[in-house]
Structure 1
Amino acid sequence: MSNVMERKRPSVAITGAGGGLGREVALKLSAKGYRVFGTALTRDEIDALDQASGGAVTLSIVDITDERAVADWVAEVTGELDDAGLDVLIGNAGILTPGPLEVIPLDAVKREFDVNVFGGLAVINAFLPALRRSRGRIVQIGAMTGRFPLPFNGPSSASKATLEALADVYRAELKPFGIDFVMAQAGNMRTGGPAKTAAALQRVADTMTDEQRALYGDAFGAFTAALNNMQGDGLGADESAERVVELVERVPAPIRAAVGEDAEEILRLVRELSDAELDALRLKLVGLGDQ
């Protein structure tokens, strides 16, 4: 009887569930009765979430850029689900590589795409058979910068824009199988990201050469201050997770949905303003005014 009840519970797999937004979403969905599986980066993350969830969340250490590791994790999760299939996949894992495009090492840009795009693709494709069985849903955590790229945020903006395109393609290709694809366009959030972002910004500033600092130091400093302020004023962890849970359960599934009032406003302006006006807005948002 217990095995039958387990199969009837909705199931969700979450990448990047060891911390930040993914952790909060995992806790909320487990509290709602979902069987929650996820990826983490460290044993400490696993132990902390196991304690916080009362053992209701099952995490595995997985590097999503390693296709073999992804395949092993997906096989483990689908084995637990038997023939029931996976109801929801939340693509949340991601990294941020800020800095002037002229300064960022090409390997760092490639790494951003490996995690944010190619790792996500590997996870989605590996879970598709299980999602087909349940006619499930994919919720991809993107960003408003996928539609409104910001200076000094090039790799992240570009990778999020790529996810926007892939979401459209997947949605069309998966429609015959009854699989929904929802793009969550996140704004600034206080879910553990601001501290990581601040550290990443400082690393870039510290590693600039004197020549690079002369070219970009002042502008990048203004961007750093503006981004830290925006993230500090962003949507709280609880509210951010609630919004994602709502996207998991909304019927019918939305195609795209902003997460946060700032994202809603920016995406509205993207639809309404000219390219020249959007360029001016980009500079204003990162503290560069009319430069």
Structure 2
Amino acid sequence: MSARAVRRSLPAGGAVVVTGASSGLGRECALELENRGFHVLAGVRRGEDGEKLVGESLRGRLRYAVIDITDDASVRASAELVEREYGGLRGLVNNAGICVPGPLECVDSDRFRRQLDVNVVGQLGMIRAHLPLLRRSRGRIVNITSGLGKTAVPYLGAYAAAQFAKEAMSDALRRELTPTGVRVSIVAPGAILTPMWDKVSEAGERLLRDAPAGVAELYRASFGAFMEGNGQQSTKSLTTPEDFARTVARALTDVRPRTRYWVGADARSAGRWARLLPDSLLDRRFSPITASVRAPGRADYAFE
């Protein structure tokens, strides 16, 4: 057989679970995978979100389940549903997540725990519950992170912490599960215009309202400018939800799946920065974000 005849991708088919499919990237991913030939169980937050998604499907191979990935009983129920309805599982796409924005000084413990609970602990719960099915089929796990899984920027520290943790978890799982035939890949998208950005902006405003007044005022101007700039970046981004969905499909069907798929030039750049630049240069690159922050009554000190 010639090199050109070597198969580069596997045929689509079998059951795939996609979490966080109510809107945005998860919704696009669920519809794309169904269109390609997979049977898709879309994890949604509310029944009405699922009904809307089913109404948008074209092939009759998409159904939904209300899954709270932070609730072990809900997670177990999703695995039982897959076993009962499909008899097996080809892939698990861990897309569900939230973003807690804001200066870390303003992020209270409950918000920080929630960030980690959804984006890390809940993801591992989904993996544990569905691994028996994935081992049986020698299936795939696709964990969705972002460019912030390699490079942390000011005012998205809580989100970056969760993404760093999910990257580490994915690397460890990949090495632990390789002997069983289960493959683990990361898909890391950059800025993409989705409804999530409105939610992030609202969450940032609430966070500053809840922070101590003096602390909130210290960051308000620079944080506001940062959030506005982030929104503009996503609006101007040439990367689309369709690009993301096609990349997830590749991670599920490539004969030799990559360990990491970058989606968008900004995500690829973040990965290169983290790999090649020293911390001092990265700090300098991000310093304009916080340039306007000045401690009130700051004095000059001489250290001997």
Match of 2:203 in 1: 200
Aligned-partner SS, 1:254: coil
Match of 1:123 in 2: 126
Quick one: which of 242, 251, 254 aligns to 1:250?
254
How far does the alpha carbon of each residue in 1:54-113 deviate from its partner, in whole angstroms, 9 at most, with x for none?
A: 44311111111000110011101121122xx21111000000001111111100100111
Aligned-partner SS, 1:150: coil
Say how many residue pairs are matched.
281
Match of 2:40 in 1: 36
Match of 1:164 in 2: 167
Residue 92 of structure 2 is aligned to residue 89 of structure 1: yes
Residue 146 of structure 2 is aligned to residue 143 of structure 1: yes
Residue 283 of structure 1: how far off its partner (Å): 3.0
Question: What is the identity, as a one-letter code, of the residue corresponding to 1:124?
Answer: I
Whole-angstrom distance in 2 between the partners of 1:248 and 1:11: 11
Aligned CA distance change for structure 1 residues 255 and 289 (closer, same or farther; 3 Å): farther
Whole-angstrom distance in 2 between the partners of 1:186 and 1:192: 15
Q: TM (normalized to structure 2)?
A: 0.87
Q: TM (normalized to structure 1)?
A: 0.91
Aligned-partner SS, 2:106: coil
Match of 1:264 in 2: 268
Whole-angstrom distance in 1 between the partners of 2:248 and 2:20: 14
How far does the alpha carbon of each residue in 1:158-189 deviate from its partner, in whole angstroms, 9 at most, with x for none?
A: 00000111111101110111111001122111
Match of 2:68 in 1: 63
Whole-angstrom distance in 2 between the partners of 1:76 and 1:70: 10
How far does the alpha carbon of each residue in 1:191-228 deviate from its partner, in whole angstroms, 9 at most, with x for none?
A: 32222222222322443443123321122122212221
Aligned CA distance change for structure 1 residues 231 and 207 (closer, same or farther; 3 Å): farther
Residue 106 of structure 2 is aligned to residue 103 of structure 1: yes
Whole-angstrom distance in 1 between the partners of 2:283 and 2:292: 11
Structure 1 runs of 4+ with >6 Å offset = none
Whole-angstrom distance in 2 between the partners of 1:206 and 1:9: 48
Question: What is the identity, as a one-letter code, of the residue corresponding to 1:79?
Answer: R
Match of 1:179 in 2: 182
Match of 1:4 in 2: none
> Higher mean Cα deviation, 87-96 or 226-235?
226-235
Contact 2:34 2:57 in 1 (8 A): yes
Contact 1:89 1:139 in 2 (8 A): yes
Match of 1:282 in 2: 286
> Higher mean Cα deviation, 191-200 or 27-36?
191-200
Match of 1:74 in 2: 79
**Where do 5+ consecutive residues of structure 1 fail to align?**
1-7
Residue 64 of structure 2 is aligned to residue 50 of structure 1: no
Aligned CA distance change for structure 1 residues 232 and 202 (closer, same or farther; 3 Å): farther
Residue 287 of structure 1: how far off its partner (Å): 6.9
Contact 1:194 1:232 in 2 (8 A): no
Match of 1:5 in 2: none
Residue 232 of structure 2 is aligned to residue 215 of structure 1: no
Residue 31 of structure 2 is aligned to residue 27 of structure 1: yes
Q: What is the percentage of aligned positions where both structures have the same residue?
A: 34
Aligned CA distance change for structure 1 residues 64 and 224 (closer, same or farther; 3 Å): same
Contact 1:226 1:287 in 2 (8 A): no
Contact 2:145 2:166 in 1 (8 A): yes
Question: What is the identity, as a one-letter code, of the residue corresponding to 1:200?
Answer: A
Whole-angstrom distance in 1 between the partners of 2:46 and 2:234: 25
Aligned-partner SS, 2:37: coil
Question: What is the identity, as a one-letter code, of the residue corresponding to 2:65?
Answer: S
